[in-house]
Amino acid sequence: MTDLEQKKKAKEFAERWKGKGYEKGESQKFWIDLLENVLGVSNAIDFIHFEDTVHIDKATGFIDGFIDKTKVLIEQKSIDKDLRKAIKQSDGSLLNPFQQAKRYSSELSYDNRPRWIITCNFKSFLVYDMNNPNGEPEEILLKDLGKEYYRLSFIVDAKSEHLKKEEELSFKAGELVGVLYDAFSDQYNDLSNEESQKSLNELCVRLVFCLYAEDAGLFGRKNVFHDYLAKYEDLDLMRKALIELFKVLDQPLDKRDPYLEDDLNQFPYVNGGLFSNENIEIPRFTEKIRNTLLSKASDDFDWSEISPTIFGAVFESTLNPETRRSGGMHYTSIENIHKVIDPLFLNDLREELNDALAYKNEKTRNEALDKFQKHIGSLTFLDMILQSLIQSRGIIEKCAFAV
C-alpha cells in the first residue's frame, strides 16, 4: 500500500471498530482486520497465533495473541476494561493486563519471549518495550490511528525497533548539526559579521541536505556523498572538493562541462536555489570536521529516518545564535501542530483530495487532482496562520475587556 492508501485504511479501520469491543467474541476479528487491512499482512491467520496455552503453577492460561516473526505478545481486554487497573485472576491474585502478560511471558522458552507486549481494549493500545520493561508504555488511540498507524509498524516489521524512533533520531540529528555548527564556527575569522553568520547557517543547511539525500536515495547511490569526500585526506583538498561539489549540484546536466570527472558528474542537479549562492564563505577544515562528516554524521547515522516535523524546529534552533546562547532547544509536538493546522486548513485539504481520488473515471480523477494541485500552489499558509492568530487575539482581548 502507498502511504495515502494506508492512512485511508487505518481511518476506515478506526471508524469500523469505534465503540465495539467484546473480548471473547471480537478479539481475533479485530486483530486480523488490523493486520490485513491496515498493516498489509496478506494472510493474517498464518501470521498470528491465538490462544496459545501456558502453564502457570497448576493452572492453564491462554495468550490472546502472539506473533513469532516480530516477537509481539498481545493481551486483549474488552472495551470497558481499564488497561492500567488490576484485575482479579483465577488464582486470586490481582494483576493488570501488562503484569498478566509478563507472567505468561516468563513461562515461555527464552527464544520465544516477546520483545514487545501490547495490551489493548479496542480503543487504546499500550505498547511496552521489553528492552525497557520498567518504562512507561507508549499509548496509541484507535481514534488517532488514521494519522498514527505507522507507530504500529513494529508489529509486522522487525526492523522497526522503537515507537519514538523518529523523535529520538531527530534530536540526535539536531545534536549532530550542533557539533558541525560549533566545529565550523570555530574556523570563521569573525562570526559577528552578518555575512559570515549567514554563510555558516547556509553551509550547515547544504551539508544536512547532502547527508539526507544520500541516505534517502536522492543522490542515486547510498554513501555517494561520503565516498566522494572520503577520498580527500588532505583537509585543504577536502574543502576545495566540497566547494566544487556545491557548484556542480547547481548545474543542470546539459549545462555541465562535458569532460567533468565522473565522481562529480554522478551527482544530480538540485533545483530550488539551495546551491545557487557562489559567494558562501566556507572556512578551512579540521580533523574534527572531517571525522564528524564522514563518521558520526554519515557512517553512524541514517538521515532518511528523521521526522521533518520535529527536526525542522530542532534544526532552526541549532542555527539560531540567540537560542543557542540561551541554552534552549524546543520543538512543538506533532500533536500540537495538528491541533492548529488541522482545523485551519488541513482537514479541508484532505477532504478535497479524497473527493478527487473518489472519481472512478480516470480522466475526471486526473482533472480533479490537477485542480487540487493548483489550489495548493495558490495557498499562502503564513497569511492564513497570521489571520487566525489576529482573530484569536481579538477574541481574547474582547474576553479580557468583558472581565
* Cβ atoms 217, 248 nearer than 8 A: no
Domain boundaries, given as residue ranges, for the chain: 3-155, 165-326, 334-402
What pLDDT score does 218 carry? 87
Which residues, 6 or more positions from 68, have their beta carbon under 8 angstroms from its beta carbon? 49, 112
What does DSSP assign to residue 343? I
Question: What SS3 class is residue 284?
Answer: coil
Closest CA to 87 of 122, 48, 39, 119: 119
> ∠ CA(302), CA(206), CA(383), 5° rounding?
100
Q: Which of 73, 129, 122 is nearest to 101 (CA)?
A: 73
Closest CA to 187 of 320, 284, 290, 288: 284
Q: Which residue has the cell 543547511?
A: 205
C-alpha cell at 219: 543522490
Pairing of strands 65-67, 59-63: unpaired
**pLDDT of 193:** 87
What is this structure's pTM? 0.50
Q: What is the pLDDT of residue 27?
A: 92
Q: What is the pLDDT of residue 221?
A: 79
Cβ neighbours for 287, distance < 8 A, ≥ 6 positions apart: 235
The pLDDT score that the predictor gives to residue 402 is: 36
Q: Which sign, positive or negative, has the C-alpha torsion 307, 310, 312, 315?
A: negative
- Across 308-344, b (16+ Cβ under 10 Å) vs e yields ebbbebbbebbbeeeebeeeebebeeeeeeeeebeee
CATH 3.90.1570 fits 3-155, yes or no: yes
The rounded distance, in Å, linking the Cα atoms of 305 and 153 is 14
Q: Which residues, 6 or more positions from 332, have their beta carbon under 8 angstroms from its beta carbon?
A: 313
Per-residue model confidence as pLDDT tens for the chain (403 residues)? 777 788 899 999 999 999 988 767 799 999 999 999 999 998 899 999 999 988 887 778 899 999 999 999 999 999 989 998 988 877 777 889 999 999 999 888 888 899 999 999 999 999 998 888 778 888 999 999 988 888 898 999 866 644 556 667 777 888 888 889 999 999 999 888 889 988 998 999 899 889 988 888 888 877 899 999 999 999 999 999 999 999 999 999 999 999 999 999 999 999 888 898 878 999 999 999 999 999 888 888 888 777 665 566 666 656 666 555 444 444 555 556 666 777 878 888 888 888 888 888 989 989 999 999 998 888 876 654 445 444 444 433 333 333 3
Handedness of CA 386, 331, 276, 200 (dihedral sign): positive
Q: What is the CA radius of gyration of the chain?
A: 27
